[in-house]
Structure 1
């Protein structure tokens, strides 16, 4: 089946539009193809040279914050290589990225698994993880993360009883492996590349901007367009890309970003700002990610700016309680990925992420893909549950709650396999 046609897989568990909310165009959305001065963009050259620049500046100054350039002194150190990892199935590499070039400065540990079978170089899926590199596999060779690790009881995704004094122990190995199907990723011919969010920037309000890469840029917080945590995670993903461009085992032109939840927000912004990423997979990224603020569903700007005050720039706070008056919305972030493939995944019961808003956002971004001669999202109505529709923009809404499941990954593989022409 060619790209741009429907891919209908899974159960037909759809009980009508009323169950999900109105699946119609959201009124008053800003037109991504209309310039700040009101002129309409009609060519790819105008988009690339004018409108794209306007939107990047708008979201940088008003939402995510301004990020530094690539550090001139940054250095990489491959501190581990095992060509017979996972029973010989993969080569494991671990790389330290020293942001300032100094070993006592901020450091991001990057974990790579490359399939030993198949042609080299290989495409890669890059994503940040929530609970440390050691959490995605029981492989005893993975360095245990030393950065802060949250401790919470009754966590729906992992058992964090292994955490002692907010630090991981040996018992934490593989605690989140369920969401990272390493064998399947390798079997599909992809390398997996991951790093721990806390190595890059703190996700704890009390310690915001005082750990990770923020320590290298202390003056960047004394401004209204300050370097927020979402932007820092996105910036960290670009630094990982800097390394991957030097690794001959990785195909630098076939690197996809993956992100779930708040890390999905970072993946979208990283893909928007760094065109070296060939595709983006956004899983339930919600408000400030793929969904539309203007619908007034899911998390509000007030909640984002008060519960997570470190995520966005100070400027973003001026829009609290003004969702319907925004001069921008998140479909324009998705549009910034054009003409590269992007997949938006939702879950029916994930009300906080507003799955209908994510669908509507993908639909509204399609206008820019059409400008490039691409289809964008291949439907104007919400597909049945557990069913994937795939153009250059892909979408599905599955049953269940906020999570990453095998069904999500099945559709991600199908989408990437087609766009990366995997055999």
Structure 2
């Protein structure tokens, strides 16, 4: 929502006779036609184009096709395939790590050391942005505190709520609350794995448990009564099933980390803490909301590891 990603259109083709999956350009691209981002088209236009694509593919090679698209909102330009060549997946050398000339990846070590970093850089530069590295207490300090720890769900689990507070040197801060359910049988000597994920309408939506502190949902579209009600998303989280299988479950309301607002504003989220230039004069990191949410989950993982040994 706070970024306009590069439009990526690919095709995953399933050959109905051999059951094999291959990656190849969409028929429209092979035919040299211009393609608009999928989100620019109405549902009817998309369905009509899909029928046309499948008819052409059936006539060409009998493959069943599905279009996978990631399109940026508000992108109004058409794209010509020759102007958007896809990089070769197993060739590296576009960065200094590659030694200044293109080479083919022939070993797992070359993939890990050279090509993988190059591809991650492409996604950082073109889509997600560059999130900050590890926190430096001189710029943004982090504190973890257990707010509550109580038996829950008829003895099946211990429900914990943990505060993650980030404070900038000038006093600006951002805090979010982690809801964590740990199986009652877990101990520091016998820790359990944890499933961690974001929720979109408040921690109270993952289970009707009255002991969950309600999140203050800031996004107007997400705070309708039916969406913020206790247990509104319980069918998606299956808390008891996860606990009985021996896993802990942790969740954070995404709007506490970075609100999902239509104008892409950074005023209220964690990104606002990093918007001042660095001490060396370098500009602040440019990163989208998706990167901010991922970064927030990493900081949440740090907090759980710090204060919940089980």
Say whether residues 1:181 and 2:238 are aligned partners: yes
More strand by share: 2
Q: How does 1:389-404 map to 2 (within 5 A)?
A: none
CA distance in structure 1 between the partners assigned to 2:244 and 2:114 by the alignment: 42
Say whether residues 1:45 and 2:105 are aligned partners: no
Q: TM-score, normalised by structure 1?
A: 0.47
Pick the aligned partner of 1:212 from 258, 269, 292.
Answer: 269
Q: TM-score, normalised by structure 2?
A: 0.62
Q: 1:49 to 1:71 in 2, by over 3 A?
A: same
Q: 1:107 to 1:57 in 2, by over 3 A?
A: same
CA distance in structure 1 between the partners assigned to 2:248 and 2:264 by the alignment: 33
For residues 350-383 of structure 1, what are the alpha-carbon distances to aligned partners after superposition, in whole Å with 9 as ceiling and x for unaligned?
A: xxxxxxxxxxxxxxxxxxxxxxxxxxxxxxxxxx
CA distance in structure 2 between the partners assigned to 1:247 and 1:42 by the alignment: 43
Q: Does the aligned pair in 1 maintain the 2:130–2:287 contact within 8 Å?
A: yes
For residues 39-91 of structure 1, what are the alpha-carbon distances to aligned partners after superposition, in whole Å with 9 as ceiling and x for unaligned?
A: 11222322222222222222111110011123231110110101x21111001
Deviation of residue 249 (structure 1)?
Answer: 3.5
Q: How does 1:8-407 map to 2 (within 5 A)?
A: 24-27=22-25, 30-35=87-92, 36=94, 37-72=101-136, 73-82=141-150, 84-100=151-167, 105-117=173-185, 120-151=190-221, 160-161=224-225, 172-206=229-263, 208-219=265-276, 226-250=286-310
Q: 1:76 to 1:225 in 2, by over 3 A?
A: closer
CA distance in structure 2 between the partners assigned to 1:242 and 1:139 by the alignment: 25
CA distance in structure 1 between the partners assigned to 2:308 and 2:272 by the alignment: 31
Stretches (4+) displaced over 4 A: 101-104, 222-225
| Structure 2 residues without counterparts, runs of 5 or longer | 1-13, 26-84, 95-100
CA distance in structure 1 between the partners assigned to 2:116 and 2:175 by the alignment: 32
CA distance in structure 2 between the partners assigned to 1:225 and 1:147 by the alignment: 26
Q: 1:248 to 1:223 in 2, by over 3 A?
A: closer
Q: Does the aligned pair in 1 maintain the 2:149–2:161 contact within 8 Å?
A: yes
Counterpart position of 1:334? none
Deviation of residue 130 (structure 1)?
Answer: 1.0
| Structure 1 residues without counterparts, runs of 5 or longer | 1-15, 153-158, 251-423
Deviation of residue 244 (structure 1)?
Answer: 2.5
For residues 257-303 of structure 1, what are the alpha-carbon distances to aligned partners after superposition, in whole Å with 9 as ceiling and x for unaligned?
A: xxxxxxxxxxxxxxxxxxxxxxxxxxxxxxxxxxxxxxxxxxxxxxx
Q: 1:147 to 1:160 in 2, by over 3 A?
A: closer
Q: Does the aligned pair in 2 maintain the 1:129–1:194 contact within 8 Å?
A: yes
Q: Which of the pair has the greater relative contact order for Cα pairs under 8 Å at 6+ separation?
A: 1
For residues 237-264 of structure 1, what are the alpha-carbon distances to aligned partners after superposition, in whole Å with 9 as ceiling and x for unaligned?
A: 11112113224544xxxxxxxxxxxxxx
CA RMSD of aligned residues (A): 2.9
Q: Does the aligned pair in 1 maintain the 2:162–2:178 contact within 8 Å?
A: yes
Q: 1:49 to 1:23 in 2, by over 3 A?
A: closer
CA distance in structure 1 between the partners assigned to 2:249 and 2:121 by the alignment: 31
CA distance in structure 1 between the partners assigned to 2:130 and 2:174 by the alignment: 19
Q: 1:186 to 1:99 in 2, by over 3 A?
A: same
Q: 1:46 to 1:226 in 2, by over 3 A?
A: same
Q: 1:215 to 1:79 in 2, by over 3 A?
A: same
Aligned length: 217
Counterpart position of 2:57? none
